[in-house]
Structure 1
Amino acid sequence: MGTPARPTGMSTAGRAALAVAMLVGFYLLAAGLVLGVLGADVALVVETGRLNPAIGKLILLSLAVAYPVLRVVFLTRRPRERGEAYGLPVTREQQPELWARVDRIAERTGVRGPAEIRLIPEVNAGVREDTKLLGLIPGKRHLVIGAPLLIGLTEAELDSVLAHEFGHYSNRDVRLAGVTVAGRSAILHTIHGLHARADGHQAQQQAELRAKAAKRLAKGKKVTEEKAGGGVDRALAKLFTQYAKLYFRVSESVSRRQEYAADRSAAAIAGRDATAAALRRLPLLDAAENFYLHRYATIGWSAGLLPMPGQVYGGLAELLADPKRRQELAELALEPAEEEADPYDSHPPIAQRVAAIEALPDDGRAAEGSGPALVLLHEAERTLAALESVCLVPEAATKRRVTWPELVRTVCLADCREDCQPILTALTSAGLPGTVEALLDAIDAGRTWELAGRLPRDEQAVAPTGLAAREAARPVFRSTLGRLTVLALAESGRAHWEFSWSTAAVLHLPDGWDETFSAALDAAVADVPDTAPLRTLLTTAGPVPAAH
Structure 2
Amino acid sequence: MGTPARPTGMSTAGRAALAVAMLVGFYLLAAGIVLGVLGLDIALVVETGRFNALIGKVVLVSLAFAYPVLRVVFLTRRPRERGEAHGLLVTRAQQPELWARVDRIAERTGVRGPAEIRLIPEVNAGVREETRLLGLIPGKRHLVIGAPLLIGLTEAELDSVLAHEFGHYSNRDVRLAGVTVAGRTAILHTIESLHARADGHQAEQEAELRAKAAKRLAKGKKVSDEEAGGGVDRVLAKLFTQYAKLYFRVSESVSRRQEFAADRSAAAIAGRDATAAALRRLPLLAAAEDFYLHRYATIGWSAGLLPMPGQVYGGLAELLADPKRRQELAELTLDQDEDQADPYDSHPPIAQRVAAIEALPEDGRAAEGSGSALVLLREAERTLADLESVSLVPEAATKRRVEWPELVQTACLADCREDCQPVLTALTSAGLPGTVEALLDAIDAGRTWELAGRLPRDERTTAATGLAAREAARPVFRGSLARLTVLALAESGLAHWEFSWSTAAVLHLPDGWDEAFTSALDAAVADAPDTAPLRTLLTTAGLTPAAH
- Could you state the TM-score of these two structures normalised by the residue count of structure 1? 0.94
Deviation at 1:82, TM superposition (A): 5.7
What is the CA distance between 1:100 and its match in structure 2?
0.4
Unaligned runs of 5+ in 2: none
Give the Cα–Cα distance (whole angstroms) in 1 for the partners of residues 214 and 389 of structure 2: 55
Residue deviations 1:445-499 (CA, integer Å, cap 9, x gap): 1111111121121121122322222222111111111111011111111111112
- Find the counterpart in structure 2 of residue 52 from structure 1: 52
- State the alpha-carbon separation in 1 of the partners of residues 81 and 122 from structure 2: 16
Which residue of 2 is the match for residue 399 of structure 1?
399
Report what 2:337 is aligned to: 338
| Deviations, residues 252-293 of structure 1 (Å, cap 9, x unaligned) | 121111111111100000000000000111111111111222
Greater mean deviation of Cα atoms: 128-137 or 365-374? 365-374
For 1:119-134, list aligned pairs within 5 A: 119-134=119-134
Deviations, residues 382-410 of structure 1 (Å, cap 9, x unaligned): 11121122222222222222222222222
The CA distance in 2 between the partners of 1:58 and 1:382, in whole Å, is 71
Count, aligned residues: 543
Q: CA deviation at 1:54?
A: 2.5
Instruction: Report the equivalent of 1:231.
Output: 231
Aligned to 1:162: 162
The answer to whether the 8 A contact 1:177-1:254 is kept is: no
RMSD: 2.1
Any conservation in 1 of the 2:199–2:230 contact (CA below 8 Å)?
A: yes
Rounded Cα–Cα distance in structure 1 between residues aligned with 2:445 and 2:160: 72
Q: Does 1:377 align with 2:342?
A: no
On the 8 A contact 2:138/2:175 being kept in 1, the answer is no
User: What is the identity, as a one-letter code, of the residue corresponding to 2:115?
Assistant: A
| Residue 292 of structure 1 pairs with residue 300 of structure 2 | no
Decide whether the 8 Å contact of 1:408 with 1:498 is kept in 2. yes
- Tell me whether 78-87 or 149-158 shows the greater mean CA deviation: 78-87
Equivalent residue, structure 2, for 1:257 = 257
Q: Would the alpha carbon gap of residues 42 and 398 (structure 1) be closer, same or farther in structure 2, given more than 3 Å must change?
A: farther
- Aligned partner of residue 176 in structure 1, secondary structure: helix
Separation in structure 1 between the aligned mates of residue 142 and residue 201 of structure 2, nearest angstrom = 42
Match of 1:534 in 2: 534
Structure 2 match to 1:481 = 481
8 A contact 1:3–1:355 mirrored in 2: no
Output the CA distance in 1 between the equivalents of 2:375 and 2:11. Answer: 41
2: CA distance between counterparts of 1:437 and 1:253? 68
Q: How does 1:65-464 map to 2 (within 5 A)?
A: 65-81=65-81, 83-171=83-171, 176-333=176-333, 335-339=334-338, 340-366=340-366, 370-464=370-464
**Percent identical:** 90
Greater shift in the superposed pair: 510-519 or 454-463:
454-463
Report the TM-score when normalising by structure 2.
0.94
Q: CA deviation at 1:511?
A: 1.1
Alignment check: 8 A CA contact 1:123 1:146 kept: yes
Contact preservation (8 Å) 1:17, 1:176: no
Cα deviation digits, residues 82-110 of structure 1 (max 9, x gap): 62421111111111111100000000000
* Partner Cα separation in structure 2 for residue 435 and residue 395 of structure 1: 34
String of CA shifts for 1:298-324, please: whole Å, max 9, x gaps.
222233322222222222112111111
Q: Kindly indicate whether residue 508 of structure 2 is the aligned counterpart of residue 502 of structure 1.
A: no
